[in-house]
Every structure is written in C-alpha cells, then in structure tokens.
Amino acid sequence: MSMKKWTDEELISTRDNLEAWENRSKNSGAGSKLWLLTALLGAFAISTGVAFIFLDGVDVMSIILIIMGTVTCFSWYRSEKQRKDNIGFLDEIRKEIKSRKLKDTANQKDKVSGSIEAIKADADNKKELSVAGTQTTDKN
C-alpha cells in the first residue's frame, strides 16, 4: 500500500489512531505479560499432550490438549505479528509525514476548535445575561 497517494488528513488521523493504540498497549504492561503466559501455557499443553500420547497411547484428551495448545500458540503468534506490523506501519507513516514536512495540524485543529467553542460559550453567556437583564427590567 503506497502512502504517497494518501491525503495529509488521512496520514495524520491514521498516525493519531496508531499512536493512541501504541500508548494503550505500552501502558497496559500486565496485558502483554498475561498474553505471553497464555502462549507458554499453550506450548505446555502441546508438550503435555504429546507426552501423554507416548506414555498412555492415543487418547481423546491428549488430542484435545494438542489442538487447544496449537490454537492458543497460533493466536499468540498472529497477535505478535500484527503488533509488529502496526509498529512498523506507524514508523512508515511518521517517515512519510516527516518527508512531506507536515506540521501537526491535528493539534492545531483541536486548538482552533477549542477556541471557537470558548468564543461561542462566551457569546451564549452574554446573551443569557442580556435576556436576564431585560426580564428584570420588564418586571419593574
């Protein structure tokens, strides 16, 4: 997939989404350790199933252990591969943004929209005050 055809907004929004994902994954250190423990348990299930086949002969429980361990290890492998691909893709996006010399327009848009909202809030407050003032003068 070529990022040369992507618009600046697409690059920045994709980068922001991937950086948010990266921060979540870095902050949840226990989640990655638990996932690694799950992969080790899958490998243990495979080895236990194979050992039981050698000791007791082919049994349904041995086959189930091998299948469940294989599925667990394969899902761990796929998630690690996806994580590495996401990190590599984020690096490519950062390089493309740097080569285009784009400034962080997403942060600038947030600042502009925040200041616009503050101006609107101030205008609404002034309207409320003027309406309240006219209502008190009408009662007198």
101-115 residue pLDDT tens: 766 555 555 544 555
pTM: 0.58
Give CA torsion, residues 3, 6, 8, 9, to 10 deg. Answer: -120
Is the alpha carbon torsion for 94, 97, 102, 106 positive or negative? negative
- pLDDT of 94 over the 90 cut: no
Q: What is the average pLDDT across 89-106?
A: 75
pLDDT value for 112:
47
CA distance 76 to 73: 5
Q: Bigger pLDDT: 70 or 3?
A: 70
pLDDT value for 61:
92
CA distance 39 to 47: 13
Judge whether 61 and 24 are in contact, CB under 8 Å: no
pLDDT tens per residue, range 51-91: 999 998 899 999 999 999 999 999 989 988 988 888 888 88
Lowest mean pLDDT among 1-5, 56-60, 118-122: 118-122
Residues 6+ apart with CB under 8 A from 67: none
